[in-house]
Amino acid sequence: MAQDAPRRSPARSPAPLPARSSWSSADTRPLRPMLCLLHEPDTQLRQLTKEIADRWPEAPPYGGRFTEIVPHLTIAQGQEDAVLEETEAGLADRLPSTSHITSIELMVHDGVQWQERASFALGG
C-alpha cells in the first residue's frame, strides 16, 4: 500500500479466515523474479483487500500499479534463478501446507525494503 497509508483500523473487525488454510507455491517468472506461496481458497483475503482499498482509496494496494491483487506470502524476490529454483525445490515436499491466520500485516516499501507498518487481528 502507499507509503503514507493510514494507520486506522477497518471499521469492523474482519471475519476470521478458515481455521485451516492451504498454501501452495507459485513461480512468477518470467513476469518478475519472485517465489511466493498462494493462499487457497483466497476469496476472503481478496474481499478483505477490496474492503480496505474501498475504505482508503487514496492508498491503493501497491500504489495502484496492479489491476488484480493476488493474496500471497513472498518467499524470495530479486534472487538469481538458481536461488529461486533451489528454494522452490526445498519447499516442494512441504507443500501444500496448512495454517491458521490470526492477523494481517500492512507492509509498506520505503524505497529500499518492505517494512511492517501495522498489524490487524482477525476475528476479534
**What is the radius of gyration, based on Cα positions, of the chain?**
15
Closest Cα to residue 5, out of 73, 52, 70, 66?
A: 52
Q: What is the pLDDT of residue 79?
A: 84
Q: What is the pLDDT of residue 110?
A: 86
Q: What is the pLDDT of residue 3?
A: 44
- pLDDT by residue for the chain (124 residues), tens only, comes to 444 444 444 545 555 555 445 666 665 555 567 888 888 888 888 888 898 889 889 988 888 988 888 888 888 888 888 888 888 888 888 888 877 777 888 888 888 888 998 888 877 5
Q: SS3 string of the chain?
A: CCCCCCCCCCCCCCCCCCCCEEEEEEECCCCCCEEEEEEECCHHHHHHHHHHHHHCCCCCHHHHCCCCCCCEEEEEECCCHHHHHHHHHHHHCCCCEEECCCEEEEEEECCCCEEEEEEEECCC
Q: What is the pLDDT of residue 30?
A: 53
Q: What is the pLDDT of residue 116?
A: 92
- Residue length, the chain? 124
Q: What is the pLDDT of residue 22?
A: 60
Q: What is the pLDDT of residue 16?
A: 55
